[in-house]
Structure formats: structure tokens, C-alpha cells
A and B are shown apart, each in its own frame.
Chain A
Amino acid sequence: MDTGRHIVLKLSDLTIKFGGLVAVNNFNLEIEKGELVGLIGPNGAGKTTVFNIVTGQYEPTEGRVFLHGQDITGWRPNLIAAAGIARTFQNVRLFTGLTVLDNVLVSQHLRLKSHFLSAALSLPTYSGEERRVRTTAMELLERLELVPYAKELAGNLPYGQQRRLEIARALATNPRLLLLDEPAAGMNPEETARLMKFICRIRDEFDLTIFLIEHDMKLVMGICERIRVIDYGISIAEGMPDEIKRDPRVIAAYLGEGGE
């Protein structure tokens, strides 16, 4: 079994239909430990739908999702998060009424050991654990350079920092696989360049496998080791960035959309 090749995520024959529309059709993918894989495709190609199936927001009509060989198809999203998959959202979805620190702390709730009653009565067992998770959360914020904002409301942060916080919040669940849904959306080239370095850095520091959706070709081509292209829910190409750049099917798909 252990041949050195360790498959973190395996998607086999994923199909999902909404009414009559087939949003994702027969999608297969394997991601190895430590890989950085990109998923690209024109608007409405079904990229986010694939993410939503992986994280349990949608249940596929057919096909299975495996995490480290375990079948997690149809699990509730919170259980999938506990199993080790974390994500960010295309249109940032922070807990805007909570502070930056609290946003990160929410992600640690799933590992809470103290019983509810000990929290309600503020018993020493709970207080001790609360102090520990606060320390962990502050350390995480420090590594992501968010400490100055710790007590700000998440909704009041500048956009770029909100994106960063969303990644911090995902990391706080202690994931093995991180899904990033258009992390560079709305960023200028300079910010995107910084983000690229940041993504590579967290992959190494947190020992992650990363699967990302992105429209910014510079980012995808710059950091992904392998790229998958889908269009109308169907995989049309896969390969190294250079191969993808030259692939006629990919060019056609993008040009066909109106030369985006």
C-alpha cells in the first residue's frame, strides 16, 4: 500500500445535476500529498461546484469523494472540516460581527474537549482550555501578520486583509487539504504577487496540500505544479502549466467564451 505516493484527495466519477442541468460531469482527480493543484475554466464551468461537492455543501448525484482513502461522500460539511479539509470562499464569507481573533477561534471549536456545562459554569477545566486555544490562535495570527487587527471586527478590515483572514480561519481548523476559491479575486498585480509567495509559504509551513481555483493566469501558471481545466462541467485538459498554456482545447474554451 505505502508506495511513497500518498493520495490525499481522490474524486471518482463525480457528477452533479441541478434539475436538468449537468453542472459537473464525470469528474476524476487525484491529488498527492504536498501538491499544489489548480482548477481553471471559464465562468460557470463548474469549478466552485466541484469545491462544494468536496466540502460537503452539495451531495453529488453520482461518484465518490475520498480523503486519505476514506469515503467521505455525503458527509456534513462540519464533519468534512473535522476530517481535514478546509476552504475559503469566492466571495469572502467571514463572520463579520466577530473580531478577527474570534473568527480564528471559531475554527478551533471543532477540537474543543471541554463539556458544555463546564463552559457555561466557567469551570477551571474550561478556562484552561480557553487560554490554550487563545494562545494558539494568537500564534496563528502572528504567523499571518494579522496581530494588529486581532480585536477589530472582521467586517471592518480592508479587503486584502479579509482575504488573508479567511485563509487564517481555514488554517485554524488544522487542515491537511486546503481549498482556495479564487484567492486573488479583486487584487492588483502587486498584491497577487505577494499572495503567490504567501500561498507557497503556508504550504511549506503548515505541511499542506493545496487545491485552488483561480482566474488570474499569472498566479495559476506561477505556482501550480499541475493544472486541470474544465468547461461545461467536463475535464478538457490536464498538465503542467506550460502544457496547458499551449493546449488548443484550452485556448478554444477560453476564446469561445468571448476572448476573456
Chain B
Amino acid sequence: MSLETFIQQLANGISLGSLYALIAIGYTMVYGILRLINFAHSDIFMVGAYFAFFLIAVFKLPWLVSAILAIVLTACVGMTIDRIAYRPVRNAPRISALITAVGVSFFLENLGLVTVGARPKPFQRPDLMARVIRIGPAAISGVSIWVPILSIGLVAILLYVIYRTKLGMAMRSVATDIDTTRLMGVNVDTVISYTFAIGSALAAAGGIMWACKYPQINPLMGIYPGWKAFTAAVIGGIGNITGAMIGGFVIGLIEIMAVAAFPALSGYRDGMIFGLLLVFLLVRPTGILGETLKEKV
């Protein structure tokens, strides 16, 4: 591999990894609080991209305004899903909640197929993202630079919210012990709602940036990024936000670098990541940063 392609692929891997990280955070936050794999999270990601698409293409709003509005709308969708579908099954056996999540995921995908159609739509990206930037010998697309920067900015805001605000404190407390937190007079349902809102907003930002990176969107676009991001969350240690970020970068880099080094593997790209997941569950089930979640007896 020449230095030029190496730098290009590295930038590519980092930007892909930062997107996985953004999605993975949403999975890990919900899992940390509810012990629920929110299968619909990958479709929230798709919904975010579509909101932006329609705001830009149909309502002709400026790009940045559309993106911000799309993120807000998607956060509302996330909260609505929690309110309508997940809250009623919160005290049901865990398997019921998981089945509900699978149902919501399939519902969003198929609703997408029925309403906007299966045909991919071209996504208009801002000039900033399309511009080519030179680093040393390598020409790198603006997306590969801007995506990681924006992602890290978003994560910084998130970390501020979690560690410096009252809401963040409530979220951490709910994740540690939901019953005690409720007894202390915190409205747990509201905290969970906000968690869904934040996770969905990050997923929407990820979806919009994904659409900038691979400028075509379709209703099933969330499935693979979503599952890989969940894998990233597991590899980083499920329930752990820093772990989810590390996992995201690891997965993104492995995916891009393995294929760049061995082009013959390109067909196995998706399978590879899941293979990695199985290996990880076998050798280090708690993930890179995770600790064993002890069950109370």
C-alpha cells in the first residue's frame, strides 16, 4: 500500500469509525439504562437522513437549517417510539421488550419502503463536505475530515451533558439503580425519554453525515451501520460511552484497512465484523472497557 492510499484509507476509516461511534453511543446509553437492545436505533438513523433529505429537497431550506431541524425531529421520533412502544413493556419480561424493538425496527423499515420507495435517492451534500483537501501526498475528501471533527464535537457536548448537568446526573443514577432513583423522587420515565431523545439526535447526526459520505439514501440504509455500531458498543463494553466510541473507531478502521490491505476480502466485509463480534464474546465478553454486570441475588 502506498503512503498516499494509506493516508486516504486511514482518513476514511477514522471518519467511518466516528460515525459508528455516534450510533454506538445511542445503543449503549439505552442498554445501560434499560438493558434493552434498541433494534430500532439503526432505523432512527435512516429516519434522520430522510428528514434532512426532504427538508433540503422538498422544502428547499438551507443545508445547515435542514440538518439541525432534522436532528430535532428525529429526537422527537425517538421519544415517541419510547413513549408508545417501549414504555408499556418496561415491566414485562425482557424478551417482550426485545421483540417489541425488533417489531418497531421492521415497522420503520417497511413503512419507509412503502412510503418513499426502495429506490435510493441522491443526497445533496454541502460544498464544504465535497471539497477535496490535500494532506501531504494524499487527496482526501472533505467528508473524511469534517465527519470526525463534527462527531467529536457532538460527543464533547454529550459528555458535558452527562457529567456536568442535572439531567446527566439523573441519567447516570438511573443507569446505576433505577428503583432507588425512582424512590429519590426522580421522574424516571422523563429521564428515559431524554435518553432516547439524545441517542436519536446523535443517530440522526450520524445518518446525515453518513448520507454526506455515501450520498445515496434508502429505507434499509440503517441496517448494516446499525448492527456494526452495536457490535462496536459490545466490543467497547456495553453500557460504557467511552467504550462505545473506542469500539466505533476500532470497527471502522478494521473494516476499511482490512479491505484496503486485502482487496480480495471486500465481499466478506460485513461478515468479517460479525466474526470479530463472536471472537470477542468468546475471549473478552465484557468488552474493552466493560466490567461484569453482577446480577443482584
Binding site for B on A (CB under 8 A): 18, 48, 52, 57, 89
Contacts and interface: CB of A to CB of B under 8 A. Distances in A.
Contacts of B297: 48, 52, 57, 89
Contacts, number: 5
A56 to B, nearest CB: 11
Contacts of B294: 18
Interface in B252-297: 294, 297
A89 B297 CA distance: 8
A178 B294 CA distance: 24
Nearest to A49: B297
A213 to B, nearest CB: 13
A57 B294 CA distance: 10
Contacts of A57: 297
Contacts of A89: 297
A52 B297 CA distance: 8
A52 B294 CA distance: 12
Nearest to B295: A57
A249 B177 CA distance: 33
Contacts of A48: 297
B115 to A, nearest CB: 40
A185 to B, nearest CB: 15
A229 B173 CA distance: 33
Contacts of A52: 297
A53 to B, nearest CB: 11
Interface string B202-239: 00000000000000000000000000000000000000
Nearest to A55: B297
A15 to B, nearest CB: 17
5 contacts: A18-B294, A48-B297, A52-B297, A57-B297, A89-B297
B177 to A, nearest CB: 14
A48 B297 CA distance: 8
A48 B296 CA distance: 11
A10 B294 CA distance: 26
A163 B234 CA distance: 39
Nearest to A18: B294
A49 to B, nearest CB: 9
A10 to B, nearest CB: 22
Nearest to A51: B297
A55 to B, nearest CB: 9
A67 B69 CA distance: 66
Nearest to A57: B297
Contacts of A18: 294
B63 to A, nearest CB: 48
Nearest to B291: A19
A18 B293 CA distance: 12
A39 to B, nearest CB: 16
A89 B15 CA distance: 51
B95 to A, nearest CB: 12
A195 B15 CA distance: 66
A40 to B, nearest CB: 19
B238 to A, nearest CB: 19
A229 to B, nearest CB: 22
A89 B295 CA distance: 14
B172 to A, nearest CB: 16
Top 5 closest A-B pairs, CB basis? A57-B297, A52-B297, A89-B297, A48-B297, A18-B294
A56 B297 CA distance: 11
